[in-house]
Amino acid sequence: MERKHQLMQESLDAPLSAQAVEELTIILAENPQSADDYQRLQKVDDMLSIAPFERAPKRLALTIMARIAQSVSAQTKPTSDIDIATLQVAVQLVTVAALPLLVGAGYMLLNSQTDPESLEVVIEQVAMLLLMVINVIDVMLDEAKEIVHDDPQTALAMLTLLPTTLLTMVSEILGIHNEADES
């Protein structure tokens, strides 16, 4: 940095030594442009030195404490015995609903072996069906996980709805296929 600029800036941060003051005075006297620059710098310094301090709104601290309390309570919320029991029932229901689907899929595969031409079609349909079932379970479990802290009852209710959703979906798909076959 140029010496004159250095002196100008340093004079804003702390009082200069007598020697530096003399040096700066000479520079400013000899160069009107530098004097103008220095005046502008001083104006900036003056403006910033009296800048008002913005105070936080009164409600801000309360909002922050409420957020902390909410977050801590969500992290430490104990799962009740009833919740655990409901969760177990939901998982059992999912298993019960998924088993016939797996058995049905296996049955279709075995039967299709007598008709090699339709084997490919059946494998495709079974794979699609299973993929859809897995996807639905995945999505519903993810959603249940997201809301389980804030609203465990709704999360469990979602899980208990899984079997019904899966059965409805499968019957819809099979219904569509049957109609297509008949036509």
Partner 1 sequence: MEENITVSDAIVSQWINAAINGDQEAFAELLYTFQDAVYNLCYRLLGERTEAEDATQEAFLKAYYNLRRYDHERSFKTWVLSIASNHCIDRLRKRRMSYVSIDESIPATLSLASDEPEPEPALLGNERSQHIQDMLHTLQPDYRAAVVLRYWYDYSYAEIAEILGDSESAIKSRLYRARQLLAEKMTPTSDEDFHNSLEERM
Output 43 or 145, the one with its CB closest to partner 1: 43
Residue with tokens 């104006």: 43
Q: Are 145 and 137 in contact (CB under 8 A)?
A: no
- Write out the binding residues for partner 1, residues 57-76 only, by CB under 8 A: 57-61, 63-65, 67-69, 71-72
Helix and strand element counts for the chain (H, E):
7, 0
Return the ∠ at Cα 65 (arms to 59 and 71), rounded to 5°: 135
Q: Residue 169: which of 93, 101, 72, 117 has the closest Cα? A: 101
Tokens of 81: 């015995």
CB-nearer residue toward partner 1: 46 or 138: 46
CA separation for the pair 99, 118 (Å, rounded): 24
- Shortest distance, CB of residue 10 to partner 1, whole angstroms? 9
Q: Which of residues 23-42 bind partner 1 (CB under 8 A)?
A: 37, 40-41
Rounded CA gap, 27 and 23, in Å? Answer: 6
Stretch that binds partner 1, among 24-32, 43-51, 81-89, 126-134 (CB under 8 A): 43-51
Is residue 53 involved in binding partner 1 (CB under 8 A)?
yes
Does residue 1 bind partner 1 (CB under 8 A)?
A: yes
Tell me if 48 contacts partner 1 by CB under 8 A: yes
Q: Does 18 bind partner 1 (CB under 8 A)?
A: no
Q: Are 101 and 84 in contact (CB under 8 A)?
A: no
Contact between 16 and partner 1 per CB under 8 A:
no
Minimum distance, C-beta of residue 86 to partner 1, in the bound complex (Å):
30
Given the rule CB under 8 A, which residues bind partner 1? 1, 5, 9, 12, 37, 40-41, 43-45, 47-61, 63-65, 67-69, 71-72
